[in-house]
Structure 1
Amino acid sequence: MRRLGSVQQKIPCVFLTDVKEEQSRKRDCQQFQVVATETLNPLALEADIDCALATEKLDGTCCYVTDYKGQPYLWARLDRKPSKQAEKRFKKYQYSHKSCKGFTWNIEEDFKTVPETWIPAHRVKHHNGHPVPDEHGHIPGWVPVEKDNKQYCWHSSVVDYEARAALVLRPSSDDEDVLEIAAVPLADLREQTLELIGTNVNGNPYGLGSKKLPVHCLVSHGSIRIQSPLPVDFHQLCSWFQESPEGQVEGIVWHCNDGTLVKVHRHHLGLRWPDGDTYLANRPVVVRVDGADDIYDNTKNLFKPYFALNGHSFSRLQDVQFES
């Protein structure tokens, strides 16, 4: 199977974009919005977008699996951001020059501190040994998810470092139309990026679990294919998002043969998200978290609750509920 791209940086839009001075549909505090034009991005054309694999863009928080303390670990996304003073200077420059090109950062002084364990994302540029911010003034990066770190408690709920496994939602090996939630060895996920989705992530657009009994899982980027792919055409995509049940997704990410990733978000097309029931939440799912009774003895993660549901099938992902 094709090696899918790893989401280490912000993914560009498949269309060229324009900035409109009106309230963002995506961020309440943003007084402008980025919208797609009808012109294909030259980057997508160069990467042969017509031969790319179309996959569902998931609405959660980005994670990464790589080694830490001599074994594969789950890492949480943590972008290093500028201090308030530096950000004010950056925005003032952007406003007056209508561009961020030419702005000079003081890398050692302009950015907030990050934990010692922080690492920059792949392909972050460096200058004089220091990572350089992107055009948004951020330095993308990662921190390891320690099991006792309350800030990342929902990340911790889907990994068991003693069992060296993670709880992953993926297409079933028996039937790709059916999803499965499985305990997957972390070693099998090494160097992959994944999306953490669930009750306490990004407003829970998929309607999973409840406050009392939260449901979370990881989804490998690129693993949920668009089952009926369509041409990369502005008008056809607009119609698909609005009229097709399969179009009830946050967006599409195309994985090109050369490793290039491009996307389109519903907000790029002036469409709401979420907008009613989501396609993912309405797909059938089976739980396959098996093993010996004493494998998952950590009461702080979700392995035991999923283990109790092993073999159970649900007509909708949204129907997965744990026993109280």
Structure 2
Amino acid sequence: MRLGSVQQKIPCVFVTEVKQEPSRKRDCQQFQVVATESVSPVAVVAQVHHAVATEKLDGTCCYVSVYKGRPHLWARLDRKPNKQADKRFKKHQRSHHSCKGFLWSVEEDFKPVPETWVPALGVKHHSGQPVPDEHGHIPGWVPVEKDNKQYCWHASVLDPDLRAALVLRPSAEDGDALEVVPLPLADLLERTLELIGTNVNGNPYGLGSKKTPVHLLVSHGALRIRDPPPVDFQQLCSWFRESPEGRVEGIVWHCHDGTLFKVHRHHLGLRWPEGDPSLGERAVVVAVGSGDNVFRSGGGVVVRKDSFALFSALSGRRFSRLMDITFTL
């Protein structure tokens, strides 16, 4: 079973409510969305109790699709309202205790985006214009260009010559361990992945350092939870608090009809990160082929210092913890 691609914001597996108190997840947000103890009726219909539970990763979403005729990595860029429209939207939220019923003008209310921006799959359109979701965002993607500093950490996991990316996945030989491998972008077409690492979301997994940043891609749904708790508010709270495997940002359930649901620790009033996340403590094997860390330029040999070169120097090494990966420069 190939697990779902993440194109839209994933709804919570529980019915949620808005509390007028500072958010634990987002600075400067004066409200937070919390879960009630009732499982979402939509999730029940989708048979979430029989779904595949996977780890929700704390990174930034990416997408592999064709750009200029070739497989290419795209970065997530949600089109968001400008300041004036955002004020009107929040005023509507406060007075109606809901996002429903707010009228948008896509042409006037939203910040500009690059010409290369495309809306995510599944975004509804009206009169040729993409329609914002309930949060007032229009999910979308922009291609990662190597000369764009905003996406330099996305570019760091790519080898433009090999058309490949550095991917972290469960080891084929040891299910408890992970492995870092280069995969052709063509093998990842139409998949979404999470970019994690040193300069993403405060680096909760402890990857790399300021001197030698480490970034990797993880396919969504790749990290299955081996013994997941039932979809029950109290049992999930206990699992997050007490189980070593529960030291994760959240859970994403992949239903058999392709529907996705999630729960974040913040939905349950729990902190994140809490201690050392379980991902950072898993053993990892580096399986990036050696010999690719030099190239010829103008008749001379230039030593490469990108992520592929750094990992190729460690090819065959096994580390007891993902966070222990270190490079000798």
Which TM class, normalised by the smaller chain length? over 0.9
| Structure 1, 14-23 or 193-202: larger mean CA deviation | 14-23
2:107 is paired with a residue whose SS is: coil
Q: How far off is 1:128 after superposition?
A: 0.6
| Structure 1, 66-75 or 21-30: larger mean CA deviation | 21-30
Query: Per the alignment, do residues 153 and 110 of structure 1 end up closer, same or farther by CA in structure 2, a change over 3 Å counting?
Result: same
2:108 is paired with a residue whose SS is: coil
Q: Supply the distance in 1 between the matched residues of 2:44 and 2:97 (Cα, whole angstroms).
A: 27
Task: Tell me what 1:55 maps to.
Answer: 54
Q: Supply the distance in 2 between the matched residues of 1:200 and 1:284 (Cα, whole angstroms).
A: 22
Q: How far off is 1:263 after superposition?
A: 0.5
Task: Tell me what 1:303 maps to.
Answer: 308
Task: Tell me what 1:252 maps to.
Answer: 251
Query: Per the alignment, do residues 77 and 3 of structure 1 end up closer, same or farther by CA in structure 2, a change over 3 Å counting?
Result: same
1:238 is paired with a residue whose SS is: helix
Query: Is structure 2 residue 265 aligned with structure 1 residue 239?
Result: no
1:108 is paired with a residue whose SS is: helix
- For 2:143, the aligned partner's letter is P
8 A contact 1:159–1:301 mirrored in 2: no
8 A contact 1:16–1:38 mirrored in 2: yes
Q: How far off is 1:300 after superposition?
A: 6.2
8 A contact 2:286–2:316 mirrored in 1: yes
Task: Tell me what 1:202 maps to.
Answer: 201
Task: Tell me what 1:322 maps to.
Answer: 327
Task: Tell me what 1:312 maps to.
Answer: 317
Q: Supply the distance in 2 between the matched residues of 1:58 and 1:67 (Cα, whole angstroms).
A: 25
Task: Tell me what 2:130 maps to.
Answer: 131
Task: Tell me what 2:224 maps to.
Answer: 225
Q: How far off is 1:27 after superposition?
A: 1.4
Task: Tell me what 2:264 maps to.
Answer: 265
- For 2:21, the aligned partner's letter is E
Task: Tell me what 2:298 maps to.
Answer: none
Q: How far off is 1:72 after superposition?
A: 0.6
Q: Supply the distance in 1 between the matched residues of 2:155 and 2:205 (Cα, whole angstroms).
A: 20
Q: Supply the distance in 1 between the matched residues of 2:270 and 2:17 (Cα, whole angstroms).
A: 16
**Structure 2: runs of 5 or more not aligned:** 296-301
8 A contact 1:215–1:321 mirrored in 2: no
Q: Supply the distance in 2 between the matched residues of 1:112 and 1:215 (Cα, whole angstroms).
A: 32
Q: How far off is 1:237 after superposition?
A: 0.7
| TM-score between both structures, scaled by the size of structure 2 | 0.95
Task: Tell me what 1:92 maps to.
Answer: 91
The count of residues paired between Structure 1 and Structure 2 equals: 323
Task: Tell me what 1:23 maps to.
Answer: 22
Q: Deviations over 1:233-272 (max 9, x none)?
A: 1111111100010000000000000000000111111110
**Structure 1: runs of 5 or more not aligned:** none
Query: Per the alignment, do residues 66 and 298 of structure 1 end up closer, same or farther by CA in structure 2, a change over 3 Å counting?
Result: farther
Task: Tell me what 2:299 maps to.
Answer: none
